[in-house]
Structure 1
């Protein structure tokens, strides 16, 4: 049985916190009861087995599940392979309800048949509307959702600044929009398919020198079309996307290892450490060495 979470807005859903987690084979999702927040899970690798209120969900790569704040959930089966999931906690401060997917589409069809526009009684009256979110779905653009959650997570370290929290809330609405639009069609557009394939290839081959020709041959699309699709879906060119992936991996190495910056630059695909430092500094606002000093784990504690 599929469910829809229908939200009355304003107010809009509110971002709280996000992160990612690796679950080794044999591990399970946490058991929790009435956690008080919505918990969005998006799987990028493997499969997570979660039960909520007696219903089992197999959340495989590319799928998303929203766990409700007023329910009990637990891992009903162990992971059989290395599993990576990205999580995001959010809150709905206004009214919301859960309805069956079949009932939702029935109600929507009836409203569309009426074809009546909402007219406020007063020119300054707030016009509320409903926002529908699928509780469980195969995402048409999974990598776009994952990248956005990762960006939100990366911003958490500076969330003590009001300006950063405002940017997070605006960015979170992109996640909400992607989830809501996935209800309109579960069949991704050709452009989304192309962009997702290109993103997957670049994530796998980020250590190699970028080649638009090789990328096109590998996923069987013309390089110009790939660039157009990635700009539309991810907001950047393939080369810029690969650069972001390299910086993403370099940050993990800076935090989790004692490798010299020069070695890290080589490890993530840069031929010259100076160019790596320049790119990293432009993107992060501080040099790799300062980043390490600020955010490296204290492994002695």
Structure 2
């Protein structure tokens, strides 16, 4: 099976340039090595015969392939018929990696297998990073929709000297990324990921209420032990710890956004006792709720 290219955002991938090419019978896609940018190929007619790193692909109508910036790709055969394709160069300025699809699906949704931090462990106003998978080779679910976007990108290229057009191109390119990524998710999440996500949704909706593993299990129709196992795999913690982190995260927002006292904030995020809230907050953040708030209070010297 073709590999998966997974990148961490932000930052989002950056559009560079695109176009379309008609390859005659016997013509070939150019062979290149370490070109420094990703090259997306979308065939609308005919077939391109392209290989990369020892794997050969037939990119037929309705299929897309992403050639990597750090690899050798080559044409292993000339076109047997007149072939039309769109191409698009883009760059990922942040972290990215390549993995086999089987490995990707095994780790789907598993925080413990990633380098990025669990969002519930970040400061209140920190941007939350996330990963986006792109199939290196895929049959498109809606090929014409993707081609329409690429045609619009090409048309906008005539006015590339305008900053507003460059911005619009970047916005349109994110639609290309979304369509490519959606090709991976057609099979849906794994059963463990689905269970963990349902449990997390329940906890987010009921985080102010006393925690009950039994109530959680009855609500989403899974045994509490299985839920705990799934959440440990996907989020790296038990339901109770997930809930505690969520409550502390909500408390940090209230400490920054309101003038409510600590006792009332504790109550609003689901703690019965302010002292226990302060102890949990201090253990997790390294300072008390009051000192956390004071860090962001401006005082005139």
Decide: shared fold, TM above 0.5. Answer: yes
Normalised to the residue count of structure 2, the TM-score between the two structures is 0.59
Distance in 2 of aligned mates of 1:121 and 1:179: 29
8 Å Cα contact 2:111-2:118 kept in structure 1: no
For structure 1, which runs of at least 5 residues remain unmatched after alignment? Answer: 188-301
Q: Does 1:65 align with 2:68?
A: no
Q: CA RMSD in A?
A: 1.8
8 Å Cα contact 1:138-1:186 kept in structure 2: no
Matched position secondary structure for 2:165: helix
Normalised to the residue count of structure 1, the TM-score between the two structures is 0.59
Displacement of 1:111 after TM fit? 5.5
Q: 1:163 to 1:110 in 2, by over 3 A?
A: closer
Displacement of 1:109 after TM fit? 5.9
CA-to-aligned-CA distance 1:160-200 (integer Å, 9 cap, x gap): 1000000000000000000011111179xxxxxxxxxxxxx
Matched position secondary structure for 1:94: coil
Distance in 2 of aligned mates of 1:121 and 1:71: 35
Displacement of 1:117 after TM fit? 7.1
CA-to-aligned-CA distance 1:259-280 (integer Å, 9 cap, x gap): xxxxxxxxxxxxxxxxxxxxxx
Matched position secondary structure for 2:127: coil
Distance in 2 of aligned mates of 1:121 and 1:184: 27
User: Partner residue of 1:37?
Assistant: 37
Q: 1:170 to 1:83 in 2, by over 3 A?
A: same
User: Partner residue of 1:149?
Assistant: 150
Matched position secondary structure for 1:30: coil
User: Partner residue of 1:132?
Assistant: 133
What is the aligned length?
184
User: Partner residue of 1:4?
Assistant: 4
Distance in 1 of aligned mates of 2:174 and 2:149: 10
Displacement of 1:85 after TM fit? 0.6
Distance in 1 of aligned mates of 2:123 and 2:94: 22
User: Partner residue of 1:207?
Assistant: none
8 Å Cα contact 2:119-2:129 kept in structure 1: no
User: Partner residue of 2:174?
Assistant: 173
Distance in 1 of aligned mates of 2:109 and 2:146: 28
Displacement of 1:121 after TM fit? 2.7
